[in-house]
Amino acid sequence: MYKPVIGLEVHAQLSTKTKLFCSCSTEHENLPPNTNVCPICMGFPGVLPVVNKKAVEYAIKAGLALNCEISNYSKFDRKNYFYPDLPKGYQISQYDLPLCRNGYIDLYVDGEIKRVRIKRIHLEEDAGKLLHIGSGDRLSESDYSLVDFNRAGIPLIEIVTEPDINSPKEARLFLQELRLILRYLGISSGDMEKGSLRCDANISIQTEEGKFGTRTEIKNVNSFFSLEKALEYEIERQIEILKRGEEVIQETRHWDEKKQKTVSLRSKEEAEDYRYFPEPDLPPLMVTEEMKNKLKSEIPELPAKRRERYLALELSPVDVEILVSDKDLSDFFDKALRIYGNAKNLHSWLSVEILSYLNENKLEFKDLDIDPEKFVKLIEMVDKNEITRPVAKEVLRKYLTQKEDPLVIIEKEGLRVVADTSYLQDIIKNVISNNSKAVEDWKKGKKQVINFLVGQVMKETRGRASLDVVKNLLEEELNKL
């Protein structure tokens, strides 16, 4: 019996306006290369870095939200290594005195709580970016490479877990929950496809006798799906090696998306390889209790608490997860709930009508300009039978696309429920005379055909008639034939 032992190292880009040690903008996408750079982030001799206060505050918020101890005293260090997109030849990071330690995240895995401990969170600057020019986007496929330093110096937090994760699924759930928390805090976009959240996974196999195996590291996995697939592959690879009586080599590996396998990159570096030493140009970070308390007061309700609150409203776990997974959607739900007490009905409208609209138009909830009071008013009109649900759906779509007040649309287009039975009876008679085959089917006992005829009546009334009323009137007319 083999047991996977997994630890994650996650780099999250902080959403500050300027870089970690200079005033250069953190904008780097779709910009001409090497335009948001200065002597400090380019590592010119004689320059002096100045730490970005907002980045420090964001890192502390992450630590508080992840149940960490916040250090009153921490410092920066130089992590020395050569990399072509690291202009200084070292990275300013934190080594023995990180800003945050000893936290945890509780996950729900198959109905049980799984606690994954956070070993440390520290601040560090990002490197630049290599552009490989050639037949592919990897170094091995390129004719030559170019360097863009726009990203050099952008603030990151590195979140390092203890090796508490025991399956690829747990690793994915951890990373998803971590990203959700960072997004709730508003300190990182967590967009993996843009490189704002990157994950390295350390994995080894524990044997049945309890012996820990040699670990390998999978670098820079950039999607939840890839993380799970890469770990599944690497677990099988290591187990096969052990079954053959061979030793796993300690190394850094890369997840090859095309081949769906991990491949060797280089031998694994240890801390001593980096020759860490204290950064002489930056003073230590001193964090006061007053500062911690202030930042703690700014932390919003986090996903775990929000789940508990929604479950208490008797929403299903699946419905709760839909809401919690998008903070903007969840915030809107809360605002609407304050003026409309039926949580289940409100969730139904959001999950069915709003989310389908977002999916069809490839939008996110934050892209919508929707007023909770107007949205609730529409639902209440359906509840009071003032408009039908099909009409409400049509009006809602127009509201979302045209931004016109739903009430104005309803009144202008005369969309309130049709209560005039004589008017409906005239339409029903026309529908019956124009659909002789359906009528013959009804006479032969095919009662389900009435749904077709109801649909024809609803089409004629633009969905304004009550379904129950139409069905009853139709049956009366058909039974007379």
Model pLDDT for residues 360-374, shown as the tens digit of each residue = 999 999 999 999 999
Q: Are 400 and 368 in contact (CB under 8 A)?
A: yes
Q: Which residues of the chain are under the pLDDT cut of 70?
A: 137-139, 268-272
Segment holding 262, helix H or strand E: strand 261-267
Q: For residue 161, what are its two tokens?
A: 């877990």
CA distance 133 to 144: 6
User: Which pLDDT belongs to residue 376?
Assistant: 97
Q: For residue 182, what are its two tokens?
A: 């960072």
The helix, strand and coil proportions of the chain, stated in percent and rounded to the nearest 5, come to 40, 20, 35
Provide the 8-state DSSP code for 188: -
Q: For residue 376, what are its two tokens?
A: 């609730």
Q: Are 96 and 114 in contact (CB under 8 A)?
A: no
Q: Name the 3-class secondary structure at 355.
A: helix
CA distance 358 to 350: 10
Instruction: State the amino acid at position 260 in one-letter form.
Output: Q
Q: Are 55 and 20 in contact (CB under 8 A)?
A: yes
List, as one string, the DSSP characters of 410-456: HHHTT-SPB--HHHHHHHHHHHHHH-HHHHHHHHTT-GGGHHHHHHH
Provide the 8-state DSSP code for 89: S
Q: Are 116 and 7 in contact (CB under 8 A)?
A: no
CA distance 235 to 6: 10
Q: Are 168 and 227 in contact (CB under 8 A)?
A: yes
User: Which pLDDT belongs to residue 270?
Assistant: 67
The distance of Cα 452 from the centroid of its chain, to the nearest Å, equals 42
Q: Name the 3-class secondary structure at 366.
A: helix
Domain ranges of the chain: 3-291, 300-413, 421-480
User: Which pLDDT belongs to residue 134?
Assistant: 80
- The β-bridge relationship of strands 73-74 and 251-256 is unpaired
Angle at 11 between CA 6 and CA 16, to 5 degrees: 155
CA distance 186 to 205: 36
Please give the CATH number for the structural domain made up of 421-480. 1.10.10.410
User: Which pLDDT belongs to residue 197?
Assistant: 96
Distances 60 to 99, 248, 457 between C-alpha atoms, Å: 7, 38, 62
- The β-bridge relationship of strands 197-206 and 3-13 is antiparallel
Distances 4 to 111, 162, 168, 199, 479 between C-alpha atoms, Å: 20, 13, 9, 18, 69
Measured on CA atoms in the order 79, 284, 198, 154, is the torsion positive or negative?
negative
